[in-house]
């Protein structure tokens, strides 16, 4: 078997296992907080949002640094670093005795555990040029399949060993993934290109074009590249619109997603043990729909342009988020989450550079605000506001696009 194919299969499996592990605990922060002794519903919602958003915040800060380090030491080391960090910090959450301890561990996890970008680069730099698109698609598929399986895995671990068992399972899976990459993935010195997929790039293509010229970047050149990306963001209207849409789309998702378990707890049930399964089902419904509709959105973007696809995806997502405010049964919620996954597939799960930072910051800010807003507005009000913000961003970008075209600005 060719070396790049073996590397791709090892990284694909590692991403699948790691993604499943991560999604086995992210839906259940409210339960963990209740197990730690919190009783006030508003306080639980606030802490759930803060914990959910902590890792994306530190990931956004650290991603340019890890990009520069990866240019020097190689992507295989970066993949191993991220998975070992997940094993260490997520595993330690099993022994946390207060929300503050979990928060510190989440911040450390986000700072050290970004694995998607170096995984993609590790495979793509050694693969043939005509396989780059299929490699990206396959890793997206692995991440989505992990998101489908993760909630059920987490609930199974919790059913047999309690809330802390889920964290230990994640740690074990991350160690398994690291071992798979260490043994089967290959990276040669000649394949260590300067493309900083984790930071200092505006996207896949920008990362490759700028990175190849930089070679092994220094810290100073990495900072210069980051400032250059911000300068291009100011002058490139299409990029700016994409970042705005991405930010508010992820803001709407980040404000509402951490609260789903609290929503499920409000449904009447004669079997309390069914509630966690219901929470996992809501998360898995989004991932399943995403997996099914991702190819359709790819074809739509090829035919009509990816900028138009992102605009349509954002508008539909905002509308579906707002519709969550309707008085729904649990079956209605399942249908609504599936619809949300179908339209969110147009955003695509992989992004780097400025777009990656926008996504991370949006989730971090929105999750904290959403936790606070849940106590003030309730679930319906929170979803309505979140959907309205996404729709407002779509209206702003659409108006800007029409105005630019009317005056003939390219």
What CATH number did the domain enclosing 235 receive? 1.20.1250.20
Given a cut of 80, whether residue 410 has pLDDT beyond it is no
User: What is the structure's pLDDT at 187?
Assistant: 83
Its sign, for the CA torsion 301, 304, 307, 308, is negative
Average pLDDT over residues 51-61: 94
User: What is the structure's pLDDT at 197?
Assistant: 40
Given a cut of 90, whether residue 388 has pLDDT beyond it is yes
Measured CA angle at 324 (ends 31, 328), to 5 deg: 85
Q: How far apart are CA 124 and CA 202, in angstroms?
A: 17
Percent of the chain whose pLDDT exceeds 90: 53
Q: How far apart are CA 382 and CA 384, in angstroms?
A: 5
Tokens of 295: 């190819």
Write out the H or E segment, with its range, that includes residue 219. Answer: helix 219-235
User: What is the structure's pLDDT at 128?
Assistant: 80
User: What is the structure's pLDDT at 209?
Assistant: 38
pLDDT band at 204 (very low <50, low <70, confident <90, very high): very low
Q: Identify the domain containing residue 335 by its residue range.
A: 3-406
Domain total of the chain:
1
User: What is the structure's pLDDT at 200?
Assistant: 37
User: What is the structure's pLDDT at 122?
Assistant: 87
User: What is the structure's pLDDT at 370?
Assistant: 95
User: What is the structure's pLDDT at 131?
Assistant: 79
Average pLDDT over residues 124-130: 80
User: What is the structure's pLDDT at 376?
Assistant: 92
Which tops the pLDDT comparison, 306 or 282?
Answer: 282
**Listed residue (251, 248, 249, 335) closest to 286, CA to CA:** 335
Mean of per-residue pLDDT scores for the chain: 84
pLDDT band at 228 (very low <50, low <70, confident <90, very high): low
Report how many helices (DSSP H) and strands (DSSP E) the chain contains, helices first.
16, 0
Q: How far apart are CA 168 and CA 304, in angstroms?
A: 46
Q: How far apart are CA 137 and CA 345, in angstroms?
A: 12
User: What is the structure's pLDDT at 398?
Assistant: 82
Q: Which of 75-79, 116-120, 200-204, 210-214 has the lowest mean pLDDT?
A: 200-204
pLDDT band at 126 (very low <50, low <70, confident <90, very high): confident
User: What is the structure's pLDDT at 379?
Assistant: 92
- For residue 15, the Cα-to-chain-centroid distance in whole angstroms is 13
**Listed residue (87, 149, 154) closest to 115, CA to CA:** 87
User: What is the structure's pLDDT at 232?
Assistant: 61
pLDDT band at 233 (very low <50, low <70, confident <90, very high): low
User: What is the structure's pLDDT at 45?
Assistant: 96
Q: What pLDDT digit, counting tens, does each position of 334-376 carry?
A: 999 999 999 999 886 555 567 788 889 999 999 999 999 998 9
Q: What pLDDT digit, counting tens, does each position of 158-168 carry?
A: 888 888 899 99
pLDDT band at 133 (very low <50, low <70, confident <90, very high): confident
Q: How far apart are CA 199 and CA 225, in angstroms?
A: 9
Measured CA angle at 310 (ends 304, 313), to 5 deg: 105
Q: What pLDDT digit, counting tens, does each position of 14-44 carry?
A: 999 999 999 999 999 999 999 999 999 999 9
């Amino acid at each position: 078997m060719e070396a790049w194919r073996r590397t791709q299969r090892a990284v694909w499996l590692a991403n699948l296992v790691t993604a499943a592990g991560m999604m086995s605990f992210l839906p259940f922060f409210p339960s963990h907080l209740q197990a730690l002794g919190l009783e006030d519903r508003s306080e639980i919602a606030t802490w759930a949002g803060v914990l959910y958003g902590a890792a994306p915040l530190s990931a956004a800060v650290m991603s340019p640094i890890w990009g520069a380090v990866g240019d020097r030491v190689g992507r295989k080391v970066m993949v191993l670093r991220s998975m070992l960090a997940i094993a260490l910090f997520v595993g330690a959450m099993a022994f946390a005795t207060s929300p503050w301890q979990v928060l510190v561990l989440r911040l450390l996890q986000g700072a050290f555990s970004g694995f998607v970008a170096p995984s993609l680069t590790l495979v793509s730099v050694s693969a043939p040029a005509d396989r780059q698109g299929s490699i990206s698609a396959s890793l997206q598929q692995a991440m989505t399949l992990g998101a489908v399986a993760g909630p059920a895995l987490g609930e199974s671990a919790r059913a047999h060993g309690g809330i802390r068992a889920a964290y230990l399972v994640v740690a074990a899976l991350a160690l398994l993934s690291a071992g798979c990459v260490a043994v089967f993935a290959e990276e040669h010195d000649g394949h260590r290109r300067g493309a900083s997929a984790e930071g200092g790039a505006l996207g896949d293509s920008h990362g490759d074009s700028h990175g190849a010229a930089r070679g092994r970047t220094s810290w100073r050149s990495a900072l210069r590249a980051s400032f250059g990306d911000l300068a291009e963001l100011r002058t490139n209207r299409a990029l700016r619109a994409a970042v705005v849409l991405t930010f508010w789309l992820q803001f709407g998702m980040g404000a509402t997603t951490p609260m789903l378990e609290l929503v499920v707890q409000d449904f009447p049930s004669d079997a309390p043990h069914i509630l966690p399964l219901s929470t996992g089902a809501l998360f898995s419904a989004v991932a399943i729909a995403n997996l099914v509709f991702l190819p359709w959105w790819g074809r739509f973007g090829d035919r009509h342009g990816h900028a138009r696809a992102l605009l349509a995806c954002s508008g539909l997502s905002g509308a579906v988020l707002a519709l969550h405010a309707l008085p729904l049964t649990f079956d209605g919620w399942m249908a609504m989450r599936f619809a949300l996954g179908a339209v969110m597939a147009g955003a695509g799960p992989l992004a780097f550079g400025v777009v990656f930072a926008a996504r991370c910051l949006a989730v971090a800010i929105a999750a904290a605000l959403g936790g606070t807003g849940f106590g003030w507005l309730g679930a319906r009000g929170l979803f309505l506001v979140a959907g309205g913000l996404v729709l407002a961003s779509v209206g702003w970008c659409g108006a800007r696009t029409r105005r630019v075209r009317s005056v003939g600005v390219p």
